[in-house]
């Protein structure tokens, strides 16, 4: 019995140890599985160490910086495409029209335009030169730009732009006056007193203007023609003033007579011409040129017919003289 009793006690004493062992084994298995799962989750993230620059950017820049940079890159690409494709002017014009349309709808449409000082140019020409059209709004109209465009036109020497909100525009211009016709290299142009070329000569209304010819004549015409005006007897028969070698002037008279003026003391030469025509009818004589370039003499060139008549006259005189001697 003791044996049976001892056996029974042994079995009862081993059961708690087996339970503890089984619990320990289960805990180990669960721990291994949990550790294995964590390893499987972290392995793809920690596989390569992150770049230091990337880490610094992630910590420093705001969270939406990437989106902003992407948008900027897209805008830069679009802008580069516009420039490379040659569409910049079209894009600028479209943008200007859009903002002007918005301003016009808000009540800043140009409804009244007053232009003062124009004589040669029409109102439509002034507006076109200044870049003002039906799409322009007073709000976005750049007065300085309009003024610069107007002054770039040779007919306009100065301009003033005034804006009266919400829709009145006033343009005051100072026009140049047509002063003379200038011929160079076969081209005929209308010029102002300061020598500015206003336009090619096509309008018949400028036909009565004095004619100056030659390189540099455009800038010297005002002073020379003012001097010529002091001698109306010469001026009235002058067809053209020719600037020779950018140094001196020749006069071409209406009957074809050429007068070669000296480089200096031109006023005295014109006074001499006036006296010779008054006393001796110089301009009515059968001559082709008068050379006044030398200060101590005046040389006259006869026409071909006058030269022949003169030669025959001398021959007759010589013949009569020889006959008398005989």
Residue whose structure tokens are 């730009």: 145
- Classified as helix, coil or strand, 90 is helix
User: What would the two tokens of residue 325 be?
Assistant: 């001697």
Cα radius of gyration (the chain): 51
Residue whose structure tokens are 């010029």: 191
Residues 102, 103, 107, CA angle at the centre, nearest 5°?
A: 120
Q: Which residues contact 250 (CB under 8 A, 6 or more apart)?
A: 241, 242, 244, 258, 259, 260, 261
Overall pTM > 0.75:
no
> Which CA distances in Å does 125 have to 19, 314, 321?
110, 67, 78
pLDDT, averaged in runs of 10, over the chain (326 residues): 40 45 52 50 52 63 58 60 60 73 91 95 95 93 96 96 96 96 96 95 92 97 97 96 97 95 95 94 91 91 68 56 55
Enter the DSSP assignment of 285.
S
Identify whether the C-beta of residue 237 lies closer than 8 Å to the C-beta of residue 279.
no
pLDDT tens digits for range 28-42: 544 555 455 444 444
Q: Which residues contact 42 (CB under 8 A, 6 or more apart)?
A: none
pLDDT tens digits for range 242-282: 999 999 999 999 999 999 999 999 999 999 999 999 999 99
- Classified as helix, coil or strand, 188 is strand
For residue 255, say if its preceding peptide bond is cis, omega within 30 degrees of 0: no
């Amino acid at each position: 019995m003791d044996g049976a009793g001892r056996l029974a006690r042994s079995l009862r004493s081993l059961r708690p140890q087996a339970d503890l062992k089984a619990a320990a084994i289960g805990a180990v298995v669960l721990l291994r599985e949990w550790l294995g799962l964590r390893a499987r989750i972290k392995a793809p993230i920690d596989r390569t160490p992150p770049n230091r620059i990337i880490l610094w950017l992630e910590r420093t820049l705001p969270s939406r910086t990437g989106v902003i940079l992407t948008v900027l890159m897209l805008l830069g690409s679009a802008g580069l495409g516009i420039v490379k494709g040659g569409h910049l002017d079209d894009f600028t014009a479209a943008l200007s029209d859009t903002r002007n349309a918005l301003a016009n709808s808000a009540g800043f449409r140009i409804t009244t335009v007053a232009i003062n000082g124009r004589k040669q140019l029409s109102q439509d020409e002034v507006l076109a030169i200044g870049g003002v059209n039906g799409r322009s709004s007073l709000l976005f109209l750049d007065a300085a730009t309009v003024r610069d465009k107007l002054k770039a036109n040779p007919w306009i020497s100065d301009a003033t732009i005034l804006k009266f909100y919400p829709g009145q525009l006033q343009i005051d211009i100072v026009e140049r006056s047509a002063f003379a016709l200038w011929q160079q290299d076969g081209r005929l142009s209308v010029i102002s007193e300061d020598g500015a070329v206003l336009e090619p000569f096509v309008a018949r209304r400028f036909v009565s203007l004095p004619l100056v010819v030659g390189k540099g004549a455009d800038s010297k015409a005002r002073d020379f023609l003012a001097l010529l005006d002091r001698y109306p007897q010469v001026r009235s028969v002058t067809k053209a003033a020719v600037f020779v070698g950018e140094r001196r002037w020749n006069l071409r008279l209406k009957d074809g007579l050429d007068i070669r003026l000296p480089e200096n003391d031109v006023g005295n030469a014109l006074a001499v011409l006036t006296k010779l025509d008054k006393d001796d009818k110089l301009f009515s004589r059968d001559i082709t040129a008068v050379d006044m370039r030398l200060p101590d003499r005046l040389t006259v060139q006869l026409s071909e017919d006058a030269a022949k008549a003169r030669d025959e006259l001398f021959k007759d005189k010589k013949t009569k003289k020889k006959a008398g001697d005989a």
